[in-house]
């Protein structure tokens, strides 16, 4: 699933492409993928202008005229494909189909960008937005866990309010971070970092990287962390996420930018996806285990 840096990359590129465009028409191919799950979705969105595209946690927010919003979550296989009037398609999220080169956790997008199956819309297209300038935005999703919600201001506030601290915002102070960690102090630190109601946007990749950077074992109970370890984690999280945003994210789990390119963060990862490879902090190897059902990468020598 795309995490903060990947979603931020998609958001920035999408903002560039669809900002100030008017939505002329909307087509929904699978109502299970939209909310409300009826023609009301189409009626609500149609005719509105895109004011801007932004992010909250791992959610893409398309701000529309008339104080309405489209909230989009790509989940495991979601993809947004922007197609200009000339028909050139670019997409962000997960390429479809997943490349045959998939091995363990990495999937490499097909060279030259993403080519949706069977043209556009494809059999995986759940919704289509047509802009008045002749361009289109397609929401594709193989597994249908992703969704698009059309909401008013009140629901928008509720939905975005469910999430915790934004690690790249000014609110992410050491005090606020300590408070967040304390809330479920019996939990393992990796689970705490990935809890979207505490800290927003961190998933499997960046939780492993943050724990490694702070020399903390992901299995440690949050309450056992020393002041120094908490402070190190607090410094590491925004530093890693900022670098990842700059690198346009990590192309693991088949994520690509809206230009159909791989993100460049992969080569900067210290432990994630490096099971059995040499640790970048000591002569040992990177280990792997399952923690709360998620593959977890760590170095038993560097992390305590």
Stretch in the footprint of Zn ion (CB under 5 A) among 49-57, 143-151, 165-173, 292-300:
292-300
Is 27 annotated as catalytic? no
Say whether residue 216 binds Zn ion (CB under 5 A). Answer: no
Rounded Cα gap, residues 23 and 25, in angstroms: 6
Say whether residue 302 binds Zn ion (CB under 5 A). Answer: yes
Is 261 annotated as catalytic? no
Q: Which is nearer to Zn ion, 63 or 211 (CB)?
A: 211
The CA angle 98-101-105, to the nearest 5 degrees, is 75
Say whether residue 301 binds Zn ion (CB under 5 A). Answer: yes
Reading phi first (left if > 0) and then psi (alpha if -120 to 50, else beta), residue 95 is in beta
Rounded Cα gap, residues 88 and 113, in angstroms: 11
- Environment class of residue 149 by beta-carbon count within 10 Å: exposed (0-12), middle (13-18) or buried (19+)? middle
Is 58 annotated as catalytic? yes
Q: What are phi and psi of 225, to 5 degrees?
A: -70, 135
Helices 227-246 and 204-213 pack at an angle, to 10 degrees, of 130
Say whether residue 300 binds Zn ion (CB under 5 A). Answer: no
In angstroms, give the least distance from the CB of 277 to Zn ion. Answer: 11
Stretch in the footprint of Zn ion (CB under 5 A) among 121-129, 160-168, 258-266, 278-286:
278-286
Is 2 annotated as catalytic? yes
Q: Which is nearer to Zn ion, 113 or 281 (CB)?
A: 281
Q: What are phi and psi of 179, to 5 degrees?
A: -60, -45
**Of 281, 287, 288, 294, the one binding Zn ion by CB under 5 A:** 281
The catalytic residues are: 2-3, 58, 294
Instruction: Report the interface residues with Zn ion, using CB under 5 A.
Output: 279, 281-282, 284, 299, 301-302
């Amino acid at each position: 699933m795309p995490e903060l840096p990947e979603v931020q990359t998609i958001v920035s590129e999408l903002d560039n492409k669809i900002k100030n465009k008017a939505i002329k028409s909307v087509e929904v191919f699978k109502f299970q993928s939209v909310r409300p799950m009826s023609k009301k979705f189409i009626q609500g969105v149609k005719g509105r202008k895109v004011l801007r595209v932004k992010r909250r946690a791992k959610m893409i927010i398309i701000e529309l005229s008339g104080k309405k919003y489209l909230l989009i979550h790509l989940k495991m296989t979601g993809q947004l494909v922007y197609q200009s009037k000339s028909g050139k398609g670019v997409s962000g999220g997960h390429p479809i189909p997943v490349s045959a080169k998939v091995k363990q956790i990495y999937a490499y997008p097909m060279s030259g960008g993403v080519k949706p199956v069977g043209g556009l819309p494809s059999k995986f297209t759940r919704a289509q937005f047509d802009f008045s300038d002749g361009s289109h935005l397609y929401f594709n999703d193989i597994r249908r866990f992703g969704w698009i919600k059309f909401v008013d201001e009140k629901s928008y506030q509720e939905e975005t309010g469910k999430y915790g601290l934004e690690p790249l915002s000014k609110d992410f102070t050491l005090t606020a971070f300590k408070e967040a960690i304390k809330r479920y102090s019996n939990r393992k630190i990796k689970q705490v970092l990935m809890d979207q109601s505490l800290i927003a946007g961190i998933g499997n990749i960046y939780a492993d990287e943050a724990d490694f950077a702070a020399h903390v074992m992901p299995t440690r109970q949050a309450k056992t962390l020393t002041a120094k370890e908490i402070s190190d984690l607090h410094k590491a999280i925004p530093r890693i996420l900022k670098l990842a945003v700059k690198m346009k994210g990590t192309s693991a789990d088949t994520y690509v930018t809206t230009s159909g390119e791989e993100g460049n963060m992969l080569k900067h990862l210290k432990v994630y996806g490096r099971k059995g490879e040499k640790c970048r902090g000591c002569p040992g190897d990177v280990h792997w285990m399952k923690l709360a059902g998620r593959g977890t990468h760590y170095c038993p020598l560097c992390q305590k």
